[in-house]
Amino acid sequence: MARKSIVVAGVGGQGLITIGGVLGEALSEKGFNVSVGEVHGLSQRGGSVVVFLKYGDGSVSPIVTTGEADLIIGLELIEAARRLQLARKGGFVIVNDFLLPPPAAGKVPSREELLKSIRGSGLNDFVIDANGLALKAGSEIAVNMVMIGASLATRVIDVSVEDIERILTRRFKGELLRINLEALKLGYEEVEKKRYSSQVK
């Protein structure tokens, strides 16, 4: 049975806790033992938030250590770059092309510097405009669903789009459900398209 580690990094208000909950619920329904841990400070003020998700057979600890993560899901560029060292060699990183410098920070890296760091990490990287895709789906708050869809297209996580759709149908109703399902689909298609482009070059 697979045994994998996923790190979700971003800032408060981006729905990271929901990502961990939805993926954890879907993996649990597939028969995996799942552990989800969260570290968040001033989440209501746009502070750093990181979610650790591990699953497999037997007991799974909640913390992901350096060089262990199969996948980094970064919803903000600075937070994604900060967590790169957690990824294993040959792992994947999905990053939302969105920069939100901390309000009290002094000098912060530019968007270009952060993208260079991510693309030079040696990981299989996919940088997407998740905020734009969420707006296209109907609401920018659906950025977390775009990122779930994008992460599924890497084939790293052992659940399908249909598994996630089933979870979302239980959690949401009406227009909110429609937006979340559309955001999930757009995120999946965006990375699938990038995967195909890289294979045909």
Alpha helices in 14-160 (DSSP H): 16-29, 77-82, 111-119, 130-137, 143-152
pLDDT digits (tens, 9 = 90+) for 145-167: 999 999 999 999 999 999 999 99
Which among 71, 66, 73 has a CA at the least distance from the CA of 98?
A: 73
Residue 45 has pLDDT above 90, yes or no: no
All structural domains of the chain, each given as residue ranges with its CATH number in brackets, are 4-200 (3.40.920.10)
Phi, psi (rounded to 5 degrees) for 127: -105, 125
pLDDT digits (tens, 9 = 90+) for 49-107: 999 999 998 888 878 899 999 999 999 999 999 999 999 999 999 999 999 987 766 78
Q: β-pairing, 69-74 with 4-11?
A: parallel
Question: pTM of the full predicted structure?
Answer: 0.93
